[in-house]
Every structure is written in structure tokens, then in C-alpha cells.
Amino acid sequence: MENRENMGWNEVLEGGLAPYTELAAPEEDWLDSLNEAQREAVTTTEGYVRVIAGAGTGKTRALAYRFAYLVNVLGILPGHILCATFTNKAAGEMRRRIRRLIGDADTGLINTFHGLCVAVLQADGRALQLPKSFLVLDNGDIDAMLAVVYEERGLTLRDRTYAQARDKIEMLKTRDRTDYFHDLIAMGADGLKRRYAEADTVDDIIFYGYLLQQKKSFGLDYNDLIILTLHLFDTCPEVRRSWQERMEYVMVDEFQDIDGLQYALMEVLAGHHSNLFVVGDPDQTIYTWRGANVRYLTEFDAHFPGTRTIMMLQNYRSVPQVLAAANSLIARNRQRIAKDLVARRTDAGPAVWYHGADSPAEAAWIAEGVRALHSAGVAYGDIAVLYRAHYASRAVEEAFIREQISHTVYSGVPFFARREIKDALSYLRLIAAKNNLDFRRVANVPKRNLGRRRMKYLEEAAEREGTTLYEALEAHVGDDIFKGTGAADFLKLVETFSTTYAERPVSAVLADLLQASGYERLLRTEGSQERLDNLAELTQSVYEYETTCGEEVTLEHYLAHAALLTGADAVDARADKVKLMTIHAAKGLEFPHVFLSSMSEGVLPSRKTETREAMEEERRLAFVAMTRARDGLYLTEAEGFNHKGSPRFPSRFLLEIGPSLLLRSPMPPEYLAQAREAQAAADLRLAERAAAAQFTVGERVAHPVFGQGTVEGVDMTKRAYMVTFDDLETSRAISFRAPLQKTE
């Protein structure tokens, strides 16, 4: 497309806007509504099947239809089909689709990986001495436990922030101390106390202090859920066999994002019937930083001989202009399964590259564009502004506030992490399990004169007597220190609801509990209407869960469900507000119009990109962002200077897209030449770093002192390998300069 002297919105929209229309036939038409590749995916039921499904090719539709085909045509029981997803939102959408197709409330096990593990552990965790009422811990819960540890051992946030502590705990559990669960399960509280008391490093204090808090509250975090499920299957053959026999067909969505633990879980569950169906797209692998490994998808056929591979390439989502630009970009990657998505839509829509003089000009152009789209009949809720990192949203937010454009930012406190929601859920968890974590949170909310002095008294009594804080209060409520407090009323409240909640709907229990506890009255007294509205929304969410879950919902079921909700689950497609979010948060979503802002070198791709592999992931990230767009795609960047004072240039990804595929604003030829020179210099640095690293992840090496080991990671910034040595308990960072030798 030719450059325009003036990238005004009249020029961008001169061809008009074609509203998005669904091309596929209604779901009632069944198999006739599917294209050839979709139909093959649906009807190929036996053995190992790999579906490479590009963005917008109807993979969710194919999964739902395959489930319905198994039930309606083959006669398979819904409860014998597992469909694993990555988000509760995806699982909910899958359930709704399937329910319409099979006409049955029973939708089998359609769940997230962690939700599935909750179901397994609730059913059979007694074999690991787990109580059925164990808690599922989210980050807020973990931070509350860490706060106790920090206070007890005099740690501060200078030693480790809570985020750093959580990351360290995860690393220890999944890599360095993978047998930790023996301490958590088999070791008594006294043994853990000794480990905790003897710990003399910050990491050990945090780790064993956290395990002790988990033990006291019967709490499991997300890593525990999968690790303990695998341990259960490994140590209890009869339990493993029971679940394997039940899982006659296993289907996994978004398989490119799977990590080692999830892969092992799926392999075990499919180990009896050998019917494993996986769907994914290597071009959308954007979570390697949290353990995802695209090789599980690309090498699936090597691991499972006889695998049938099906390519789904017909894109129903995006206009041809958007798809052509996205195809042009992702073709630059090497680590992929070569393919081009084919647009089924024939209507036209804009694909634009806007270059601003500075960041305010870029943000102003985006705001102007939102206004123009809205004037042309596009709802605010049909527009999304995406960016690589949260900080990149500042200028756009300021422009929207100035122009009074209705918007919402999906980067603040998630709904289920808000104070009033955490408080309400703590009340529910307390009546179910009477654990220390939730006792600490709500015993004095509203105020019951159970402040720090009296809580310390209870802590000491519980420690001395080997009880929970709730049991300590029961035993000592008559002590003088609790006279004139609301302790007795609090015990009565908890006990009353504890003995009656199992007989009532969770939504009714919640509503009555908020009223009886005085919590609702507290918020009314504070005049916190927004918090009251949030509580009303929580109650509504419980009701919706009860009516759509397809099974009798217990309080324990709902609490586990709520603990597993993520930020992605909170995106409300119905809100008529422009949505601002990171690209990672937008994964799995789609919008009629997408602005991808701050497409500058050092932002997207990130300035932290140190390897060719990391650069490919950044390119995949841009591809994912572009393919969120249905009707219009607007790529924006601006001149200026980066945080170190060097000139800012357009992202290499903009330069890699075929020049004829984007409507471009004018740029001086010398500026583009400088941008290409800067990119070439950066590529040279990547090549030099790659040459310095002699070994790759997974290779066996020998060290002159430590002996043989396996390369678990390569840190280009530190120029070091992370090596797990056979004869050492923990991993070591080994410099590129060390005399390592490759072994077979």
C-alpha cells in the first residue's frame, strides 16, 4: 500500500467498515457445517491425534463438536471424556457449547489442569493423608503466609519481595527440591518446625516457613496440585488405574503452552486407552518463561509413533489484510511448523502502521481513532489496545482520560484479589475448614476487639497446645482477656454456618453469611458502594457457577474454582469500554478492532531479548496480538528516546512485514535506514552471544570437579549455564568460560 502524506482517520476508514459476521453454519447443522479439516479432527477419535490449528481456525468449535460426536454418535459417556483447558473462561465456554450440542447438563470433565487435579485430590487425596477440605492457595494467600514468616523471623522486603519469594518457592518445588512434598505430606508439624527453626539462609527460612504455614492451613498452591496428583498416581496404582480407565478419551487445548508437569499428567491419564487428542499452534507459543515447551507439540509424533497430524488453516476471524500482515511476519521464524493461514472472509478492513513524532502524538492518534471508529458505529467494547508491558499503557490512558473515552485497564487488582472479595471468600473457607489463614484474615473484620494483643495470645496458646487458632479460641474464649470482645459471637457464627452449609446452595450461604457476620453492614457504614457492588457481583458469580456447572455444586467445589480464577477470566466482553491489556492477557481473546501500541525496538521486542530463541518468542507475541483483530488492525509506534537516551526506532517486526501489506504513514528515508542499521547491529550481538554458548538445554556435560550433569537453562545475560549435576542436590550456575565437556 502506498504511504499517505497525512495518516488521517478519514483516509484509514475511507473504504468503510465491514462488520464481523460468522461464516460457519449454525451449530445445529452438525458435521455439514464443518470444513474438511475440522470434520477430520472431529471424526478421528482413536489413537494419538495432533491438530495444528492456526489462530481463528475454529479449534474451539472442533473440540466441542468432537466431544458431541463422541457422545451423540459413538455413545461414549460424557463423564469418561476429559477436555483440559488453560483457563476457567475457556472451560466455561466449552461447557456451554457442548451442552447445546448434546442436550445434557453432564459435560464430563471439562476443566483446567489445576481444576482436574483438585477433583482427583478431593476424591482420592486421602491416600496421601490430605483432608478433603484442603485449601487451594492463590498469590494473595501465599503472601499472607509469607507475612507471618517474615514477622516471625524478622525478614523484610529488602531481603526478598513477596513476588521474589513466590518465584523462589516455585523454582525450589519444580527444579531444585522436587521431593519437597514428602516434607509437606509425611513430615509432622513438629518436624517442619525444626526444619524452619534450623534454617539459616533467607531462602531456607522462606521455604520451610511457607511449608509449615501450608501444613497448618492444609493449603496447596498451584504447583502442589499437579505434583501431588502425579505422586498419587505413582504411589497408588489402584487410584491411577481407576482414573486411567475412566478417561477413555483425553483432549487437550492450547497444547503449545503445556509444561513438563502438565505433559506428564496427560501422558499418565491417556496411558490405558491411548486416546490422546491435542490441539495447538507453535506460532502462538508465548509462555516459555513460565515453563511451556513448544517441542511437546512439534515433536509429539516422535514421542507417540503412529500419530495422525491434521492441519487446520482456514481462518474465519480476520479480514484478509490483517491475516496477510500476520502471515508475513511469522514466516520469519524458524522454530515452527510451516503454514500460511487462509482467510475465509472476503470483506476488506484496514491494516495500518502509524508513526508518531513522539509518544503523546501516538497516543493522541489512537484516541482520535477510537473516536472515529465509535462515530462510525463501532462500540467502545469492540476495541482493544494491546501492549507488550503495563508501563506502555501510560500515554494512552492519559489520552483517553483527557478525551473522556470510556475504558478499562486489565492490569489493576483482579476481581478475586480485591479486599472485599478475599474477605468474603475467607468467611466461606473458614466455615468449611476453620484454618489459620482465614481465621487471621476475618476474625476481627468487622471489629470484634480481637486485635494484635489477643491474636498473639491465641498464637501462643495454639503453638503450646498444638491446635489451630480457631480451636485455641474455642478452648480459651472464657479467659479474662476475651471478656468484652465479640469472640463468643464469632465462634457461634462460624459453628452455626459450619453445621448447615452443606444442605444449602452456596449462593444462599454466602448472602446470609455476609449479613450475619456484619460484614455487609460494615461496608454500608463506610459508604463503600463500589465494594458492595463487588460483593453483589460475587454472589451473582456463585449463582451462575451453580447453574452452569452441570453438577451438584458443593462449597468445596466452588472455593477451589474461585482460587483457580485468573486475570484472563475476568475480562468482560460485555462492558462497553475500550479494553487496555497486555498481549499475554489477550491470548485466547478476539476483538473487532485492535490497536497494538508502542511497537518500538526495545519494547516489542523487549530490550531483555538475549537469544535468537527469545527473539522468535517475541515475534510470536506480536503475531498473537495481530491475530486478535477481526476487522481492523492498527500498529503504532513513535520517535523519541529510550530509557538510556539512545534514539527510539520502529520495531523490527514492522520492518519485517511486507511493505505492500500495510497502509503506512510517511517516514524520512534516512530514519528508516538508521532503524535498519540498529536492527542489524542488534542481530550481530545476538549472533555473538549464540556463538559463545556451546551447549543447549538438555545436553549432557562433564565438569572437572562436579562430574556429569544436564544443562537445564542458558542465561545469556550472565553468560552462564544452569546445570543439574548428578552428584549434587541443587543446580549450579556455570560460566561459559568453565572447561565443560559434552558427553553422550
Residues serving a catalytic function are: 59-60, 253-254, 284, 628
Strand partners, 312: 53
Contact by Cβ (8 Å): 569, 89: yes
Integer-rounded Cα Rg, in Å, for the chain is 28
Residue 373 amino acid letter:
L
Q: Which three cell numbers stand for residue 401?
A: 482520560
411: Cα separation from own chain's centroid = 13
Closest CA to 406 of 381, 387, 377: 381
Half-sphere exposure of residue 682: CA atoms within 13 angstroms, side-chain side: 20
List the end-to-end C-alpha distance of the chain, in Å, as a whole number: 54
Q: What is the DSSP string of 314-345?
A: EE-SS-HHHHHHHHHHHTT-SSS-----EE--
Q: What is the DSSP string of 546-610?
A: HHHSSSPPPHHHHHHHHHT--TGGG--TTS-SEEEEEHHHHTT--EEEEEE---BTBTTTBTT--
Helix-helix angle 260-269:222-235, to 10 degrees: 40
Q: Which three cell numbers stand for residue 56?
A: 481463528
**Cα–Cα dist 390/662, whole Å:** 26
> For cell 492519559, what's the residue?
398
Q: Which three cell numbers stand for residue 146?
A: 509469607
Helix-helix angle 260-269:113-124, to 10 degrees: 60
CB atoms within 10 A of CB 17: 18
Q: Which three cell numbers stand for residue 208?
A: 520451610
**Cα–Cα dist 49/36, whole Å:** 16
Judge residue 499's burial from the number of C-beta atoms within 10 Å of its C-beta, 0-12 exposed, 13-18 middle, 19 or more buried: exposed
Strand partners, 474: none
**Cα–Cα dist 627/328, whole Å:** 12
CB atoms within 10 A of CB 258: 27
Question: Which residues of 130-248 form beta strands (DSSP E)?
Answer: 135-136, 219-220
Strand partners, 82: 109, 250
SS3 299: coil
Contacts of 562 (CB under 8 A, 6+ apart): 416, 425
Q: Which three cell numbers stand for residue 90?
A: 475457556
**Cα–Cα dist 490/448, whole Å:** 8
Percentages of the chain per state (helix, strand, coil), in multiples of 5: 55, 15, 35
